[in-house]
Structure 1
């Protein structure tokens, strides 16, 4: 992240809000505390975001707009890659994106577990599109024989769990497992392990998957 002194008022508000939302939670963070940490007037938050709720909407949309751009870049520009290669590239790109936006990713992934009007809109606007991209890759792989037949919805559950775990629970990763998900070498090692998991799950000699 940039040094706070080099950021403009809007950027400082965003950085301060993400930090406070992660440590105190959205409900436990006041507009005044965000303004104080960002070294701006409270009125700036109303001006740029129309209050704390508007700031929340902005952060969630900002994260998922970037997330979907990563998916679109891989899924819509195949560059001669087959479904398996595209899925591998997509996983690495998502891991890198989450690593770059790790504080925002943690906050957004926590918020998505709640039931609210905003999150229902996120499900419809962003996560349904995410499902489309992932399902399309998996169905293409099965159609062309690159992947064995798999229950797509269950596979997506497992894939998303593996992708989000390090960034949803970084404190657990650091203090219990002694891993450093914020380090670039972690992404490389974790991606390698996910590649092994993909081969195990998608190849013809992988485990038998029940549809019952």
Structure 2
């Protein structure tokens, strides 16, 4: 029994090393610019283990993408249930943005890689959009309809508001180099999150006022 636990722990350590190396190399060189052999070499494991654990480079990519979205949607669902109780619309949207930004900061390189990959048009991206991102859309619609139920929003108003809100949350991790090199901001730093959330709160307050006048 003890030997089994040791083997399992060793296997998990090897798997984690492969994931870490793959993410590092994918971030540096892009998915197409990295070979399975390079991943195995960086992780210090036999190349056959990449196929053993993930079924190859494509399986590893799918694992990384799914891992990000599982955590992202779990954060979205858990936070949404809490903030929808006895909070103003602006405070609710700010708190949710805070938790989603924290999640992406904690998994900074994974977030950056996944968002970049999602800009391509391929079979995997289409599958992820039809599953994870459709669920994200459903959760956002549910939230916005709850927060602005008195405003009788037209569908197009609701959808544009959601797109804008989501873009505020995602953009720092889709283009972190733009933030750093052009505006000298560090999206991975806690100080960035604090200042950015002040702006998101102002945006949310303005959205609430505009929708009330609509």
TM-score range, shorter chain: 0.7 to 0.9
| Counterpart selection for 2:149 from 120, 127, 143 | 143
| Counterpart selection for 1:118 from 124, 134, 141 | 124
Structure 2, unpaired ranges of 5+: 1-11
Tell me which residue corresponds to 1:81.
Answer: 86
1:67 is the counterpart of 2:61? no
**What is the CA distance between 1:82 and its match in structure 2?**
3.6
1:90 is the counterpart of 2:103? no
Preserved CA contact (<8 Å) 2:93 2:201: no
Tell me which residue corresponds to 2:106.
Answer: 100
Structure 2 matches for 1:154-169, cutoff 5 A?
A: 154-169=160-175
**SS of the residue aligned with 1:110?**
helix
**What is the CA distance between 1:170 and its match in structure 2?**
1.3
Question: How many pairs are equivalent?
Answer: 201
Tell me which residue corresponds to 2:4.
Answer: none
Structure 2 matches for 1:1-212, cutoff 5 A?
A: 8-78=13-83, 80-82=85-87, 84=89, 85-144=91-150, 151-204=157-210
Higher RCO (Cα < 8 Å, 6 or more apart): 2
Alpha carbon RMSD of aligned pairs, Å?
2.2
TM-score by length of 1: 0.87
Preserved CA contact (<8 Å) 2:180 2:186: yes
**SS of the residue aligned with 1:151?**
helix
More helix by share: 2
Separation in 2, partners of 1:189, 1:172: 17
TM-score by length of 2: 0.86
